[in-house]
Amino acid sequence: MDPGDGSAEGYALPENNTHSHIKRNLAEFRDIDLNTPTSEGPARPVLDLDLHKNYGNKPDPVKTQPDSSQKNPLIKVVFSRQDANTSTHSPLSRHYKFIIAIAFFLTFLSNCVGHLIREPLFTTKVNIQKSFGSTTLQLAYLDIAYLASYSVGQFITPIVFPRSHIVMFVCFFHFLLGICHFLLFVLKNLSGFVVIYGITGFSCAILWLALYNDLHSWLPLNYRMLLITFWCCAAELGLCVGVIMCAHVQTTTRWKVLFMITAAVNFVTFILLFTCYIRPKPNSGDSEQLEVYVPREKLFDPVNISKENYRNIVNGIKRIYHQAPVEVDLLPTIETSELTTSRSRLIRLCKYLGKKVGQFFKRTGKRVSYIVRVHLDVMRRVQYLTLYTIGYTSLKSARNCFAFWISFYLTTNLNYSIQSGIYATLVFQLGSCAGSLIGGMFSKLVMQNYHLTSCSISAVFSVLMLSLIYFMDLGTIWKCFTYTFLVGFATNCTELLITTRGLKALCDQSLNEEEKDYSVSLGTTLSIANFMCVFQGYISIYIAHHFGWNKMFLYLILMMLLSTGALGVPSRKEIERLKHPVL
């Protein structure tokens, strides 16, 4: 057979070939463009030839099959070229790199927008208090609604939302956020704000965690952690842009204009994702994988991509409808003699509706119990996950309380202007962004094999930075900015190391590790942490309201000490394990 003709005709394996011979012969096809038509028609991919079933026999002529890629104008099949003697992953084609770049940019944008819209929620507390006449404790209900719904969203995301339709859910929640923030512009009471804050928290949790889990499935393995670190920086970038926007808008025009801007940004993000996002092919981790999917003609094809997404939505709805249990007696028929008896009609209708409501709650209860069982199973199998959850919860509570209230504290207690208080939040987010970058580099270059230990060291640094409030005079603006920068830097560095390195290391060390352990453990830890932040945040504001802000900062330092102690136990075990490895 001539390897250049692209045809499988006449190719047969000799008898008594071993598996290594098969792999060597398969390697010959890697430099063949199997999409090039010949006189015998287009050839099938090598993996469809079933060579292992035809030892010594000349295969039957290959029947011409229609190209399945013609059904979808977006994709075609190409084969990567790789030396058979190498064990590294196949080089990606130029078009496929563009696919990954575009998908990464759109998810980066979604993450940035998902965090940008949070700043108007937390930097308008002074204006909300002036407009509605609310007390400090009443303002705490906004944070409670946001964090409670945020924790619920993180709890259900890893199990309920499938990875194959991530972009559909993300698009839906961006559209929902646009509507909700438009409603914030017209609402004139605090209770309506509390409800919208809750919906926003639930949506933002799903946006972040769903995309974060999905990135692990298709980012190139060699650059995955680096790209995820940059992707996490999108959160801090969005917060920084949001703070600048809030500082400018609140001092130049009506403060509610912020919500019109965030609504428009969400609608634009929804349109971009729905019309431009093509999900890359998931990584299989197989170095001998031959096929990838790339656009046939254009990388940007909004019309066809929109049609494909619309078809996916319709097919998903039809699939859910057909999988639902069929009710034989959907609506009880009523005899003619009973038409005059409205009471009989009402009774039968109420029985039917009661039955349907009972079935709904029964199915919902089964789903909730299943989700809880999955989370508890991971907590039981992964060693030290409970301690890590406690440590992360304490860290998150202290960091959230500081971030949510630092602007309010500087404005009302230290007599800074509203603009200066908001810019202090900006400095905090800049420190958080720097903490993300330095934390990733620190773990990669210095503590490469000591991920749990790096989390513990960073937690100690966070306690020291937060304690500086008792040793620094915040009466000058530059000292205030320096302090907030250091706190943001230290706490976000610790948070990044815990979520991206620490939890992954715990799951990798588990004896009974399963594929979804990291995703579920991440959802468990984040949901518990944010749910507990609701209570910790209320306790913190209660202390500040009744005992003063200094006592509240002391409470936050105690929470950070608890976090350091919880993270220290796994790190000590890690050091002992690496010093005395089990042979």
The confidence score (pLDDT) of residue 41 equals 45
Residue 151 pLDDT greater than 60, yes or no: yes
The predicted model gives 484-492 an average pLDDT of: 91
State whether residue 292 is helix, strand or coil: strand
Q: Look at residue 322 in the predicted model and tell me its pLDDT.
A: 56
With a CB cutoff of 8 Å and minimum separation 6, the contacts of 531 are 147, 148, 151, 152, 155
Is residue 57 very low, low, confident or very high in pLDDT (cuts 50, 70, 90)? Answer: very low
Contacts of residue 396, defined as CB under 8 A and 6 or more positions apart, other chains included, come to 495, 529, 530, 532, 533
295, β-bridge pairs: 75
Q: What's residue 51's pLDDT?
A: 37
Predicted confidence at residue 44, as pLDDT, reads 43
What's the confidence (pLDDT) of residue 299? 66
Q: Using one digit for the tens of pLDDT, what is the confidence trace for 352-364?
A: 777 777 877 787 7
Token pair, residue 495, equals 């948070």
Q: For 364-416, list the strands marked E by DSSP.
A: none
Any residues with CB less than 8 A from the CB of 373 and at least 6 apart, and which? none
Higher pLDDT, 537 or 283: 537
Comparing CA positions, the residue from 510, 519, 535 lying closest to residue 371 is 519
What is the model's pLDDT at position 532? 82
Q: What residues contact 354, with CB distance under 8 A and at least 6 apart?
A: none
Tokens in use for 262? Answer: 């965030």
**Please, which pLDDT band fits residue 176 given cuts at 50, 70 and 90?**
very high
> What stretches of 22-79 adopt beta strand conformation (E)?
75-79
pLDDT of residue 142: 87
Average pLDDT over residues 183-195: 87
Task: Please report which confidence band the pLDDT of residue 262 belongs to, taking 50, 70 and 90 as the band edges.
Answer: very high
Dihedral Cα 246, 249, 252, 257, nearest 10 deg: -130
| Residue 218 contacts residue 280 (beta carbons within 8 Å) | yes
Which range (35-44, 438-447, 465-474) has the least confidence? Answer: 35-44
Q: How far apart are CA 238 and CA 207, in angstroms?
A: 14
Cβ within 8 Å of residue 45, ≥6 positions away: 34, 77, 79, 290, 291
Is the separation of the CB atoms in 127 and 250 below 8 Å?
Answer: yes
Burial pattern 291-303, b for ≥16 Cβ within 10 A else e, equals: ebbbbeeeeebee
φ, ψ of residue 103 in degrees (nearest 5):
-60, -40
Give the mean pLDDT of 213-235: 82
Confidence of residue 505 (pLDDT cuts 50, 70, 90): confident
Q: Which of 98-112, 136-150, 200-214, 563-577 has the lowest mean pLDDT?
A: 563-577
pTM higher than 0.85: no
pLDDT beyond 50 at 332: no
Judged against a pLDDT cut of 70, whether residue 160 lies above it is answered with no
Type and span of the H or E element at 409: helix 385-412
Output the pLDDT for position 174: 93
Q: What is the pLDDT of residue 209?
A: 82
Domains and CATH numbers, the chain: 1-65 (no CATH), 74-321 (1.20.1250.20), 387-583 (1.20.1250.20)
Place of tokens 């709904």: 360
Residues 8-34 pLDDT 10s: 444 344 444 444 444 444 444 444 444
Residue 179 has pLDDT above 90, yes or no: yes
Q: Confidence class of residue 7 from pLDDT cuts 50, 70 and 90?
A: very low
pLDDT at 415: 82
Rounded Cα gap, residues 524 and 526, in angstroms = 6
Cβ 165 vs Cβ 192: under 8 Å: no
Residue 161, classed as helix, strand or coil, is: coil
* Band (120; pLDDT cuts 50, 70, 90): confident
The answer, yes or no, to whether residue 485 has pLDDT greater than 50, is yes
Please give the share of the chain, as a percent, with pLDDT higher than 70: 71
**What is the pLDDT averaged over residues 203-223?**
83
235 pLDDT tier (thresholds 50, 70, 90): confident
Helices marked H in 442-516 — which ranges? 451-466, 477-497, 503-509
The more confident residue out of 195 and 500 is 195
3-state secondary structure of 55: strand
Taking residues 334-340, what's their average pLDDT? 45
For residues 340-369, average pLDDT: 72
Mean pLDDT of 419-427: 85
Distance of CA 392 to the CA centre of its chain: 17
Max avg pLDDT among 5-14, 87-96, 498-507 = 498-507
Predicted confidence (pLDDT) at residue 6 exceeds the cutoff of 50: no
| Mean pLDDT on 205-218 | 83
Residue among 128, 138, 82, 204 at smallest CA distance from 526: 204
Residue 410 has pLDDT above 50, yes or no: yes
In angstroms, the first-to-last Cα distance of the chain is 50
pLDDT > 50? residue 409: yes
Residue 102's contacts (CB-CB under 8 Å, 6 or more residues apart) are 276, 277, 278, 299, 300
**Mean pLDDT, the chain, integer:** 74
Task: Assess contact for 60 and 12: CB atoms under 8 A.
Answer: no
Residue 48 has pLDDT above 50, yes or no: no
Give pLDDT, residue 178: 93
